[in-house]
A and B are shown apart, each in its own frame.
Chain A
Amino acid sequence: MFLILVIVIFISLILVMVRAFIGPTLYDRLLAVNSAGTKVVILIAAYGFLTDRPDFVDIALLYALINYITTIAVLKFFEYGDLGSGSYQEDDI
């Protein structure tokens, strides 16, 4: 049961990474990377259940945190060309 789950998630991860490579715009690639991160969270949890060690869920929780921060940081970097200098507030928009 968990083996089928892991295989299906892995196949969909490959499909999403194909979109991340052939995506026409930056936002397609970023959306694909975000979706791949979400799938990796489920993949880690399901793999922990597959190998009889459910403690892998800690790593899945940590990966979910990092994935969200990654998406927001990459969006901010490509929108303003900078991370956290604070000088873009009233000037660039």
Chain B
Amino acid sequence: MSLLIDIISGIFLLIGCIFVFGGAFGLIRMPDFYTRLHAASVTDTGGILFICIGLVMQAVFVFDNPMAAIKIVLTVLFLFFTAPTASHAVSKAALMANIIPQCQNGESVVHKSLSPIYKGRELSAVLTHSHPSETSEQDTHSNDSEDK
């Protein structure tokens, strides 16, 4: 029985290890800020879920300590509420700090739909380098720069 619990919780811990290491490796390897955000969010949800399932099984059946299991479940619940909130806050702050997500060919992914976020700021000044013809106010300047 104990060997069966060890094997099942070990499988869960191994899956969690793969998630955590994949997220950390993606945080190094990914080229853009928003792709790095995606990689880090995988760690925050998947890795924690599987590792804590394995730890709860160990705490209940092997260590015979149900209070630790309850605390681990509380930690998982709290992290499941706060980790996506923190990721969303970081990504929105990066958008408001004019970090624009880019496609592979260098074009900007978002343009006109961002205008409610950029209330009060110059959206055309943000997007001039990637979409010169899309900005209505600076048409003359963009035409001049294209002629050069």
Interface residues of A (CB under 8 A from B): 1-2, 4-5, 8-9, 11-13, 15-16, 18-19, 25-28, 30-32, 34-35, 38-39, 41-42, 45-46, 48-49, 52, 54-55, 57-58, 60-61, 64-65, 67-68, 71-72, 75, 78-79, 93
Interface-side segment among B37-45, B108-116, B129-137, B138-146: B37-45
Q: Do residues B119 and A93 form an inter-chain contact, with CB atoms below 8 A?
A: yes
Q: List 24 A-B contacts (CB under 8 A).
A: A1-B9, A5-B13, A8-B17, A12-B43, A13-B24, A16-B24, A19-B28, A31-B87, A34-B86, A38-B48, A39-B43, A41-B75, A41-B79, A42-B52, A49-B59, A54-B68, A60-B71, A68-B82, A71-B86, A71-B89, A71-B90, A75-B93, A79-B96, A93-B119
B85 within 8 A of A: yes
B120's partner among A4, A13, A15, A93 (CB-CB below 8 A) is A93
Q: Do residues A15 and B36 form an inter-chain contact, with CB atoms below 8 A?
A: no
Bound: A60/B72 CA distance, A: 9
Q: Evaluate whether A64 and B75 lie within 8 angstroms (CB atoms) in the complex, with A19-B36, A28-B33, A38-B43 already known.
A: yes
List of B residues within 8 angstroms of A55 by Cβ = 68
B74 within 8 A of A: yes
Bound: A42/B48 CA distance, A: 7
List of B residues within 8 angstroms of A60 by Cβ = 71, 75
User: Which residue of A has the minimal Cβ distance to B86?
Assistant: A71
Q: Do residues B75 and A45 form an inter-chain contact, with CB atoms below 8 A?
A: yes
List of B residues within 8 angstroms of A64 by Cβ = 75, 78-79, 82
Bound: A27/B33 CA distance, A: 8
Q: Do residues A15 and B55 form an inter-chain contact, with CB atoms below 8 A?
A: no
